[in-house]
């Protein structure tokens, strides 16, 4: 028996969980459950990341303290995990004492490694802006690009982690452990970054208040990622060097979506090296979900209706679909119609109906599960296929090929259906063939039990229902042929996956469109924006930026310079004289060394189309 520690990221708790979170967590759950039935000792961690300026800010807009806001949000996550049958052993909150103690210990270790230094961060500082300006954003005069005031040369203390020092060791680790990052495409990307050099990274924020103070200098708050990443050890009781920690660390798999692999595969290992702790074995990144071919987007109202689909098809169908349809690591397109097809074809027709027809025959012809007699060749074939299915499944699980794993199991399901067909069991209910019928039906039932074990990591409820109907009182997790006892009574129940017709589905979809809710803002919020009509007087490309144009806009009373990301859609000369809508009270910014004082409104999707008044209006007219 070995141990297996799998984690999801701790999700950032400034909003409700969505299908992407569910996908990561289900994948991790499948791994955890798989290792449990293999007899391994498993720990499965998920949780929420509750610190940082963003949460502070969101809490404030809701009129809550950050802690109260987090206390409200955390249960939303745990409820979803319950609904999705997630079998996590730990749910970690970064506001917990356990985590805080662990972080303090970890940061102290990091500090004592000598690779944390207090950098007298010095630079050109603008007092009104309350920020530093990097050299590259400035011209020779060293004036604030926004306020046009001379900048001060200011020194501020800040803590840095000497990430650059670990570049070589990381490269070495990557080459010694080719599987460290999965899939390979991500690994290559990271190697690219590694080879082009790492810079030391700041690990503290003095402007942020909602977080964990650095143990060696409480004036500074740990940067969110520095606070978050060590959750993988703090959750196990790293602070007290607990038994659990020593048993499970290093983790076998850190599961996550692809956008956060850099933190996990570069920064986190380097931090562990500095603290002299072992590194996780594998960083596994999956792709993103799209919906009917479109990127998910809160503002555009494109989301995956988990609740609706789960209500219609059940949790297991949802889990099955996510794991079966998408090749792990790549982006996957979530399509309700495909879910529907998968449900009917794989779950209802192939599996559900197989169970039902076999139980029907047993019920009608035997008092309980019949005893098998001498097997024919065809029977042996089934037994052998069960074995090879299990072996192939193991291979696929080792490479996170959940889709292939399920396909492999379903080949067996279909084989058993064919077995029933080929042997024509239903014709054998005569005295002279009854023993033969018993043998075949025993094999079918045992095949179903065997299948239920194999699918249990993916569809745990279904697996249990199958075994219950077969007559087992306790769930048997062992994939070894012949464990099914004879003479026990089967209890054929309702079909486990009743077929669902499309009518119901369309009705559901109508309901869905009706419910497309948007997040509302108050009129006061809207009034905060000062929108004006302007006219473009000049437009030119910005060197080294494909998307940007530098525009001069006449607002009647004043002229503004605005940078707009429209170069891919508008040629500079067509823009001259064009009427546009400008957000004039947007805070200024410097982009690609060019100052921007406002923003041009445009409808933007795949294409970008400028918004313009319908007829002539004076320049400077307010837009409401």
Partner RNA sequence: GCCGGUGUAGCUCAGUGGUAGAGCACACGACUCAUAAUCGUGCUGUCCGGAGUUCGACUCUCCGCACCGGCACCA
Q: Candidates 160, 321, 497, 570: give the one binding RNA (CB under 7 A).
A: 497
Angle 254-257-260 (CA atoms, 0-180°, nearest 5)?
A: 80
- Bridge partners of residue 282, in order along the sequence: 253
142-161 burial: b if 16+ Cβ within 10 Å, else e = ebbbbeeeebeeeeeebbbb
Give the 3-state secondary structure percentages of the chain, helix then strand then coil, rounded to 5. 45, 20, 35
**From CA 57, how far away is CA 66, in angstroms rounded?**
8
CB of 138 to RNA, least distance (A): 14
CB of 507 to RNA, least distance (A): 19
CB of 18 to RNA, least distance (A): 17
In sequence order, which ranges of 456-519 are alpha helices (DSSP H)? Answer: 460-470, 502-515
Residue 2 tokens read as 């070995």
How many other C-beta atoms are found inside a 10 Å radius of the C-beta of residue 621? 16
Size of the site for RNA (CB under 7 A): 65
Residues within window 408-427 making contact with RNA, judged by CB under 7 A: 414, 417-418, 420-422, 424-427
**Residue closer to RNA, measured from CB, 405 or 563:** 563
**Residue closer to RNA, measured from CB, 292 or 515:** 292
468 interacts with RNA by CB under 7 A: no
Q: Candidates 126, 170, 304, 496: give the one binding RNA (CB under 7 A).
A: 496
CB of 462 to RNA, least distance (A): 10
538 interacts with RNA by CB under 7 A: no
**Residue closer to RNA, measured from CB, 116 or 354:** 354
Region near RNA per CB under 7 A, out of 26-34, 125-133, 327-335, 507-515: 327-335
Region near RNA per CB under 7 A, out of 46-54, 219-227, 296-304, 322-330: 322-330
**From CA 164, how far away is CA 238, in angstroms rounded?**
26
316 interacts with RNA by CB under 7 A: no
352 interacts with RNA by CB under 7 A: yes
562 interacts with RNA by CB under 7 A: yes
Residue 213, SS3 per DSSP:
strand
Rg (C-alpha) for the chain, rounded Å, is 30
Residue 118 host element (H or E): strand 116-126
Q: Candidates 222, 224, 266, 348: give the one binding RNA (CB under 7 A).
A: 348
Region near RNA per CB under 7 A, out of 83-91, 232-240, 359-367, 510-518: 359-367
Residues within window 228-287 making contact with RNA, judged by CB under 7 A: 258-259, 262
DSSP 349-407: IIIIHHHHHHHHHHHHH-SSSPPP-S--HHHHHHHHHHHHHHHHHHHHHHTT-HHHHHH
CB of 565 to RNA, least distance (A): 2
**From CA 584, how far away is CA 285, in angstroms rounded?**
41
Q: Candidates 83, 291, 392, 592: give the one binding RNA (CB under 7 A).
A: 592
150 interacts with RNA by CB under 7 A: no
Residues 6 or more apart whose Cβ sits within 8 Å of residue 476: 449, 453, 467, 483
Region near RNA per CB under 7 A, out of 11-19, 85-93, 167-175, 592-600: 592-600
**Residue closer to RNA, measured from CB, 158 or 349:** 349
Q: Candidates 228, 564, 575, 580: give the one binding RNA (CB under 7 A).
A: 564
Residue pair 443/380 in contact (Cβ under 8 Å)? The answer is no
Region near RNA per CB under 7 A, out of 116-124, 430-438, 453-461, 561-569: 561-569
**From CA 44, how far away is CA 30, in angstroms rounded?**
10
CB of 322 to RNA, least distance (A): 13
Q: Candidates 87, 96, 164, 349: give the one binding RNA (CB under 7 A).
A: 349
How many other C-beta atoms are found inside a 10 Å radius of the C-beta of residue 544? 8
Closest CA to 350 of 419, 407, 406, 417: 417
Question: How many helices (H) does the chain have, and how many strands (E)?
Answer: 22, 26
**From CA 8, how far away is CA 31, in angstroms rounded?**
11
Place of tokens 């708790």: 13
**Residue closer to RNA, measured from CB, 251 or 440:** 440
Region near RNA per CB under 7 A, out of 120-128, 270-278, 542-550, 609-617: 542-550
355 interacts with RNA by CB under 7 A: yes
CB of 254 to RNA, least distance (A): 18
Q: Candidates 8, 201, 344, 452: give the one binding RNA (CB under 7 A).
A: 344
CB of 93 to RNA, least distance (A): 28
Residue 165 tokens read as 């020092």
CB of 520 to RNA, least distance (A): 22
* 266 secondary structure, DSSP code: I
**Residue closer to RNA, measured from CB, 92 or 194:** 194
478 interacts with RNA by CB under 7 A: no
Residue 441, SS3 per DSSP:
helix
Q: Candidates 219, 474, 546, 616: give the one binding RNA (CB under 7 A).
A: 546
192 interacts with RNA by CB under 7 A: yes
CB of 408 to RNA, least distance (A): 11
CB of 414 to RNA, least distance (A): 4
For the four alpha carbons of 536, 538, 541 and 545, in that order, the dihedral sign comes to negative
Residues 6 or more apart whose Cβ sits within 8 Å of residue 341: none
**Residue closer to RNA, measured from CB, 47 or 598:** 598
Alpha-carbon distances, residue 491 vs 392, 444, 448, 469, 479 (angstroms) = 31, 15, 14, 5, 22
545 interacts with RNA by CB under 7 A: yes
CB of 17 to RNA, least distance (A): 21
Residue 189 host element (H or E): helix 184-195
- Bridge partners of residue 418, in order along the sequence: none
Closest CA to 585 of 558, 614, 549: 558
Binding site for RNA (CB under 7 A): 185, 188-189, 192-193, 258-259, 262, 295, 325-327, 330-333, 338, 341, 344-345, 348-353, 355-357, 360-361, 364, 414, 417-418, 420-422, 424-427, 495-499, 544-548, 562-565, 583, 586, 589, 591-592, 596, 598-600
């Amino acid at each position: 028996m070995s141990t297996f520690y799998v984690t999801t990221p701790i999700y950032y708790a400034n909003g409700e969980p969505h299908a992407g979170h569910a996908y990561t967590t289900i994948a991790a759950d499948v791994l955890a459950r798989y290792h449990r039935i293999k007899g391994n000792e498993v720990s499965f961690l998920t949780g929420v990341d509750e610190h940082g300026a963003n949460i502070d800010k969101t809490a404030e807009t809701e009129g809550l303290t950050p802690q109260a806001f987090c206390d409200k949000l955390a249960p939303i996550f745990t409820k979803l995990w319950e609904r999705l049958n997630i079998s996590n052993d730990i749910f970690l909150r970064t506001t917990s004492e356990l985590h805080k103690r662990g972080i303090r210990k970890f940061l102290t270790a990091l500090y004592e490694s000598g690779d944390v230094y207090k950098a007298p961060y010095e630079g050109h500082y603008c007092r009104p802006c309350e920020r530093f300006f990097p050299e590259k954003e400035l011209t020779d005069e060293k004036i604030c690009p926004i306020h046009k005031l001379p900048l001060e040369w200011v020194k501020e203390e800040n803590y840095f982690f000497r990430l650059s020092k670990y570049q070589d060791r990381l490269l070495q680790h990557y080459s010694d452990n080719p599987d460290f990052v999965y899939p390979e495409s991500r690994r290559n990307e990271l190697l690219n970054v590694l080879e082009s050099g790492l810079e030391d990274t700041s690990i503290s924020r003095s402007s942020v208040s909602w977080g964990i103070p650095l143990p060696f200098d409480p004036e500074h708050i740990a940067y969110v990622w520095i606070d978050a990443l060590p959750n993988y050890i703090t959750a196990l009781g790293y602070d007290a060097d607990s038994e659990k920690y020593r048993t499970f660390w290093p983790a076998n798999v850190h599961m996550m979506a692809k956008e956060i692999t850099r933190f996990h595969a570069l920064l986190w290992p380097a931090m562990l090296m500095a603290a002299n702790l072992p590194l996780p074995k594998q960083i596994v990144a999956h792709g993103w979900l799209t919906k009917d071919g479109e990127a998910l987007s809160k503002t555009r109202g494109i989301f995956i209706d988990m609740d609706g689909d789960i209500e219609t098809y059940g949790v297991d169908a949802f889990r099955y679909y996510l794991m079966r349809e998408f090749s792990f690591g790549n982006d996957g397109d979530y399509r309700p119609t495909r879910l529907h097809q998968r449900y009917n074809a794989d779950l209802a027709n192939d599996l559900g109906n197989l169970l039902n027809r076999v139980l029907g025959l047993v019920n009608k012809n035997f008092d309980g599960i019949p005893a098998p007699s001498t097997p024919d060749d065809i029977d042996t074939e089934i037994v052998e296929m069960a074995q090879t299915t299990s072996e192939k499944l193991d291979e696929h699980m080792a490479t996170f090929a959940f889709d292939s794993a399920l396909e492999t199991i379903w080949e067996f399901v279909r084989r058993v259906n064919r077995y029933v067909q080929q042997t024509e069991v239903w014709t054998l209910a005569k005295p002279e063939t009854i023993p033969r019928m018993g043998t075949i039906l025993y094999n079918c039932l045992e095949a179903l039990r065997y299948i239920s074990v194999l699918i249990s990591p993916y569809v745990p409820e279904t697996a249990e229902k199958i075994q219950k109907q077969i007559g087992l009182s306790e769930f048997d997790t062992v994939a070894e042929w012949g464990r099914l006892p004879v003479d026990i009574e089967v209890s054929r129940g309702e079909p486990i996956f009743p077929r669902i017709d499309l009518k119901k589905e369309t009705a559901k979809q109508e309901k869905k469109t009706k419910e497309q809710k948007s997040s509302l803002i108050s009129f006061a919020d809207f009034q905060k924006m000062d929108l004006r009509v302007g006219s473009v007087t000049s437009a030119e490309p910005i060197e080294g930026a494909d998307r940007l144009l530098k525009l001069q806009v006449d607002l009647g009373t004043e002229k503004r310079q605005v940078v707009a990301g429209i170069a891919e859609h508008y040629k500079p000369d067509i823009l001259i004289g064009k009427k546009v809508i400008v957000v004039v009270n947007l805070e200024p910014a410097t982009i690609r060394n060019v100052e921007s004082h406002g923003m041009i409104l445009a409808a933007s999707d795949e294409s970008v189309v400028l918004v313009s008044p319908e007829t002539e209006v004076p320049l400077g007219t307010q837009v409401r």
